[in-house]
Amino acid sequence: MLKDALIDVLTPQERSELYSAFDMIGDIVIVKIPDSLTSKKELIANAILRKVKPAKSVFAQVSPVQGDFRIRDLEFLAGENRTLTEYREHGCRFKVDVAKTYFSPRLSTERLRIAKMVSEGEVVINMFGGVGTFSIVMAKIAPCSTGRPCKIYNIDSNSHAIDLCAENARINKVQDTVIPLYGDAAEAMVRLRGIADRVLMPLPEKASQFVDSAVSGLKCGKTGIVHYFAHIKADTKKAAQGRGAEDTDLAFKNYQHSIAATRVVREVGPRIYQIVSDVLVKA
Ligand SMILES: C[S@@+](CC[C@H](N)C(=O)[O-])C[C@H]1O[C@@H](n2cnc3c(N)ncnc32)[C@H](O)[C@@H]1O
């Protein structure tokens, strides 16, 4: 799609050097420009503005997603110089600041999958909730499928993400269901001990360090569900799924557990896959 938009401004050789993927978040486009095309970045950005209709701003991604807040450095290239936008998905609206908060449109299918598993009256803790994406889709979708969850705690240590989560809960009219909590997940879980039916751990880089905290949030004496995200090195998607299940088993070895399913969410780098396991844990 990106290469097609650039047919008039780049040669076939230059187009082949460009990454075919780019992120479109609301009306903001984030593109990775290889070193060989740096001199043409403004030309590329202006072509995107002309050809990709909803685009109002174009930024270059100049670092990987990094740091505790999982954000990426951006360089403004063309259009309106702002990083706040609104993204729509599954009937929900999300205000997202693409410079100050994590957001990926590529997790949309996973958000819907987990939302559809939530049953009526569940208490859910999202330990790494960001601007509220998983939490708000759960709160909005669950009533249509299996019943309304009663409370979803959305924890994040990035204050910008928590402010936007509060606003997103309001604009989606789920502020009575989604409770934003600012702070470190391990500390917040001490206060949320033994209350949850389901815990989400969408921080694949570090989830293994928070397993004890996650399990401590589940209702005592009951079997709860933990959605455990991890990054797995493997040569193929199939191998990643198998290794993901082994990795999950190891992470929960101190608890009575079984893995209902492990799936590959997406490829996040050369031979690195993001997986999610749905783990049934007796707390
Ligand atoms: C990969 S993002 C996922 C955000 C959100 N679930 C989503 O999919 O849009 C991980 C989030 O965890 C937050 N985070 C990182 N370390 C944390 C910690 N120790 N306690 C709470 N939140 C943390 C980051 O700020 C970031 O928003």
Is the Cβ–Cβ distance between 24 and 89 less than 8 Å?
no
Ligand 1 atom closest to Cα of 161?
27
Q: Pick the closest to residue 64 from 182, 161, 205, 207 (CA basis).
A: 205
> Could you give the CA distance from residue 280 to residue 283 in angstroms, rounded to a whole number?
10
Note whether 144 and 264 are same-domain residues: yes
> Could you give the CA distance from residue 138 to residue 117 in angstroms, rounded to a whole number?
9
* 107 pocket-lining for ligand 1 (C-beta < 6 Å): yes
Under DSSP, the state recorded for 71 is B
Note whether 145 and 214 are same-domain residues: yes
Residues of the chain with pLDDT under 70: 1, 3, 19-21, 143-149
Q: Is residue 152 part of a domain?
A: yes
**Which pLDDT belongs to residue 17?**
79
For residue 3, the surrounding DSSP H or E stretch is helix 2-5
For residue 47, report the phi and psi dihedrals to the nearest 5 degrees. -65, -40
Choice from 97, 101, 102, 209 to test ligand 1 binding pocket (greatest atom count within 8 A of CB): 102
* 77 pocket-lining for ligand 1 (C-beta < 6 Å): no
* 69 pocket-lining for ligand 1 (C-beta < 6 Å): yes
Residue having the nearest C-alpha atom to atom 1 of ligand 1: 203
Torsion of CA 108, 172, 65, 67, to 10 degrees: -140
Locate all alpha helices (DSSP H) within 31-177, ordered by sequence.
41-51, 108-115, 133-145, 159-171
Ligand 1 centroid – CA 161 distance (Å) = 9
> Could you give the CA distance from residue 153 to residue 132 in angstroms, rounded to a whole number?
10
Count the neighbouring beta carbons within 10 Å of the beta carbon of residue 203. Answer: 21
Ligand 1 atom closest to Cα of 210?
19
For residue 3, report the phi and psi dihedrals to the nearest 5 degrees. -65, -35
What does the pLDDT look like over 71-115, one tens digit per residue?
A: 999 999 999 999 999 999 999 999 999 999 999 999 999 999 999
Q: Is residue 277 part of a domain?
A: yes
* 128 pocket-lining for ligand 1 (C-beta < 6 Å): yes
Note whether 62 and 116 are same-domain residues: no
How many domains would you assign to the chain? 2
Note whether 113 and 233 are same-domain residues: yes
Read off the tokens for 101: 């908060």
* 149 pocket-lining for ligand 1 (C-beta < 6 Å): no
**Which pLDDT belongs to residue 3?**
67
* 103 pocket-lining for ligand 1 (C-beta < 6 Å): yes
Domain that holds residue 51: 2-82
| Domain CATH number, residue 35 | 3.30.300.110
Give the residue carrying structure tokens 């979708």. 141
Q: Is residue 269 part of a domain?
A: yes
**Which pLDDT belongs to residue 8?**
86
Is the Cβ–Cβ distance between 100 and 74 less than 8 Å?
no
**Which pLDDT belongs to residue 14?**
85
* 111 pocket-lining for ligand 1 (C-beta < 6 Å): no
